[in-house]
Amino acid sequence: MKNWKRNVRRVIPYTPGEQPNEPDMIKLNTNENPYPPSPDVFAAMRAFDADRLRLYPDPTAGVLVDALAKRYGRKSSEVFVGVGSDDVLAMCYLTFFNSGKPILFPDITYSFYDVWANVFGIPFASQPLDENLCIRRQDYYKENGGIVFPNPNAPTGVYLPLADVEDIVSHNPDVICIVDEAYIDFGGMSALPLIDKYDNLLVVQTFSKSRSMAGARIGYAFGNERLIGYLNDVKYSFNSYTMDQWTLSCGAAALGDEAYFRATVEKIVATRERVKRELAALGFTMPDSLGNFLFIRHRSVPARELFEALRKAHIYVRYFNKPRIDNMLRVTVGTDEEMDRFLTFLKEYLKKSLKE
């Protein structure tokens, strides 16, 4: 073996959902928002002066940080921003998970959590969800090097009541607890107000789902001034200019259009609730999701078979070939029209396959 091979950092990377590009496709596999970003984002893009690209962007991402602080009623010093919440979460791992003790997260959860642990050499111990796919708060009382979980959880959609989130944070005063609220706008109550009460809490959110801007890569974290200061120190030690000028302007513009944001979220929630009822009538069961997706299982047709059949029809959903969830499909809530085509396909497919 060549000597250099011994010193390569070898990791198993995160596998994102596929990004097919068929003209007639229905894309329900990566929890993107089916509606366009706010018209104010289109306007900000048109108004952007390309001559500004000569200059480095503002390293503090000031316009975006200030717009977030204003929108959420916080101080700018309590806001950290990054290239999607994936970047924000990775920075949090690097900054706070250095005790050498295992960090804790659920066994069924966002599949990036163990990937970051591996790339940074952080030990971890995953905690099994209960038989209803819920987080058991008692599992997080043991000694650990930090805690991270999404609320609502992904891919289950299950929301952990705020009292339980607080219970976990309050049982762990000596480590940083990260609540990943990628889907919070679609239903649950945010843990954001708790950052005043707990100095070990970080609340992470994103523009990728509820603000229809997955392609712009904007994520952010709220925490007390000291935590945000530590995060910025690490960020500036890594890459001072993670967010480009154009993205900063578009992100700030999106935050100004509260009416559009609310209307879009309401439409998705209404579609989600209707599709829950229609899927149940077709023989599907699912945990009660508060995200922009449903995690479904059919009483007789295996998930993998349905996944393949849907894919052939250019309807893309997500299948995870993993223990405990290999008979389930995660389906993003699209427009009403997209969901009607999805439901029509299922009706016809089930009629055929149950006759055989």
Ligand X SMILES: *Cc1c(COP(=O)(O)O)cnc(C)c1O
Residue 217: CB minimum distance to ligand X, A: 7
Q: Which stretch binds ligand X (CB under 6 A): 84-92, 93-101, 118-126, 273-281?
A: 84-92
Q: Closest CB to ligand X among 206 and 264?
A: 206
The sign of the torsion formed by the CA atoms of 43, 68, 157, 290 equals negative
Residue 86 binds ligand X, judged by CB under 6 A: yes
Angle at 150 between CA 146 and CA 155, to 5 degrees: 130
What are the Cα distances from residue 228, in Å, to 96, 135, 145, 202, 283?
11, 27, 19, 9, 47
- Locus of tokens 């100004």: 256
- Restricted to residues 148-187, the positions that interact with ligand X (CB under 6 A) are 150, 154, 180, 182
Q: Pick one of 37, 57, 188, 219: the residue that binds ligand X (CB under 6 A).
A: 219
Report the C-alpha gap between 239 and 94 in whole angstroms. 14
Angle at 189 between CA 87 and CA 148, to 5 degrees: 40
Residue 106 binds ligand X, judged by CB under 6 A: no
Residue 107: CB minimum distance to ligand X, A: 15
Region for residue 89 given its phi and psi (left: phi exceeds 0; alpha: psi -120 to 50; beta: otherwise)? alpha
Residue 206 binds ligand X, judged by CB under 6 A: yes
Q: Closest CB to ligand X among 72 and 349?
A: 72
Burial state string for 169-183 with b = 16 or more CB within 10 A and e = fewer than 16:
beebeebbbbbbbbb
Q: Which stretch binds ligand X (CB under 6 A): 14-22, 61-69, 78-86, 346-354?
A: 78-86
Q: Pick one of 110, 222, 261, 284: the residue that binds ligand X (CB under 6 A).
A: 110
Q: Which residue is nearest to ligand X (CB)?
A: 84
Count of residues touching ligand X (by CB under 6 A): 13
Report the C-alpha gap between 323 and 343 in whole angstroms. 27
> What is the binding site for ligand X (CB under 6 A)?
31, 84-86, 110, 150, 154, 180, 182, 206, 208, 214, 219
